[in-house]
Each structure stands twice: as structure tokens, then as C-alpha cells.
Copies of this chain bind each other. A is one copy, B any other.
Amino acid sequence: MTDFPDRLLAGYRNFMNGRYSDESDRYRALAETGQKPHTLVIACCDSRSAPETIFDCGPGELFVVRNVANMVPPYEPDSQFHATSAALEYAVQVLKIRNIVVMGHGRCGGIQAALDPSTEPLSPGDFIGRWMSLVRPAAEQIQNNAFMTPAERQTALERVSIRNSIANLQTFPFVKNRGEEGGLSIHGAWFDISTGELWVMNSKGDFVRPDLDEPPIEAEQASA
């Protein structure tokens, strides 16, 4: 147990002198009244794809699950510890969030690992190998496609995986119920780290550039 990293303390000082200082009333109110986030984001752990940064969201807006490759496993009501399913249950049943966004991104290390059948387990426990087996069937088809470049196979599986997670979301009875009642909408998004482009999934499952032509609105005044 060593001293707390200097870099993080320096960043914390910036936060206190900057953002917290500007928004202390908001933080206090959020502490008093509790959080009421409008959206659950299931994002990747990747250090380049923080949802609060990409969506420029303030405290209280996004309830965020982050795991490797932003995946949702299928509904499995057994006696295990399910980190992602537990967060999903809490977000839908307690917080009554109105949107779920599964947000993937380019150059995802987890997806890359899933596409490489020669990868040795990273440790005897092979946690990544097992975790990424959630997209094994799709990965097997894509990895054998000799006509696509490696980058194309990677992007393809990143997007297939988002649709796979959305399909798994629908296997949770409480998600299905809330969706049918009209109080919950589910979305896919894919972020290009290099260009900063956001692609969103349309009703056919395709990823398209959203129309950003509307006059800019103030984030604070925007309705969710």
C-alpha cells in the first residue's frame, strides 16, 4: 500500500478548484435528493471512451456500467455474482432510467482478443477468454472471412457485439416489460476514437452518423 498517485491528487485538486467549485450546489442537491439519471450507458473500460466525456454529461445524468467490450450477458437467474445484470436490474427497477445505450468503440482490445483464436489465456483463470466467449459464435464467422481486412473484421465484430448485447438485454424480463410499457428505449452507439465520430444504430441495426445539423442547444437545458 503506497502513497496515493500524485497524478490523481493533482487532478482532484483541479476538480475541486474547477468543476466542483462551479457546480457545488448541484452536487449538494444530488447528494440530498438522490440520483435520477436519465440514461444507463453500458460502455467499455477502455481509457479512451469515457461516456461522460463523449456525451459531455454532468453529475447525475448517466448511470454507467463499464466492462471489457461493453457487453451484456444473457439473463441467467442463478446463484452467481452478476456485475452487469445487477447494475441493469438496479438501473431499471430502482432508478427507472428511460434510456439504455450500449456504446462500443473502435480498436477495442477485448474484441481484438475475441478475433484471435491463437491467443494464450492471459492467466490460468482465463477470465478474458471466458468473458469474450459471449461473442464467440459471431467471432468465429468473422475471423474466418478472408475477404475482409483485419480492421474491417474488428469493426464488424464491434458492431455485431453491440447488437448481441442489445438482444441479450431483451432476455431480461424486467427490461422487456418496461420496454413494452413504453417507458424505456434501447440504443446502440459506436465511437471512433481517432476521428471522434459517433455512429448510432438505426432501426435496422445499422450504424449511421446521426443528423447533427440542428442548431446547437445548451446541454443544461436539453431534455433527455
Contacts and interface: CB of A to CB of B under 8 A. Distances in A.
Interface of A: 1-2, 4-20, 24, 27-28, 30-32, 34-35, 37-39, 45-48, 50, 52-57, 59-68, 71, 73, 75-77, 79-91, 93-95, 99, 101, 106-107, 109-110, 113, 122-128, 130-134, 137-138, 141-142, 144-152, 156, 159-160, 163-164, 172-174, 185-187, 189, 192-196, 198, 200-206, 209-210, 212, 216-219, 222-224
User: 6 shortest A-B CB distances, which residue pairs?
Assistant: A31-B194, A86-B131, A77-B125, A11-B56, A37-B47, A11-B55
A89 B125 CA distance: 9
A48 B27 contact: yes
Contacts of A9: 210, 212
B1 A186 contact: yes
Contacts of A34: 107, 109
A108 B99 CA distance: 21
Contact of A148 (B109, B124, B160, B193): B160
Contact of A53 (B15, B187, B212, B218): B15
A88 to B, nearest CB: 7
A56 B15 contact: yes
A14 to B, nearest CB: 4
A116 to B, nearest CB: 12
Given A66-B65, A83-B83, A206-B149, A123 B35 contact: no
Nearest to A149: B205
A81 B73 contact: yes
B110 A90 contact: yes
B45 A10 contact: no
Contacts of A15: 53-56, 196
Given A11-B57, A12-B212, 18 more contacts: A1-B201, A5-B38, A15-B55, A18-B56, A47-B59, A47-B63, A67-B86, A68-B90, A73-B81, A73-B83, A81-B131, A82-B131, A148-B156, A148-B160, A149-B205, A152-B156, A152-B206, A195-B209
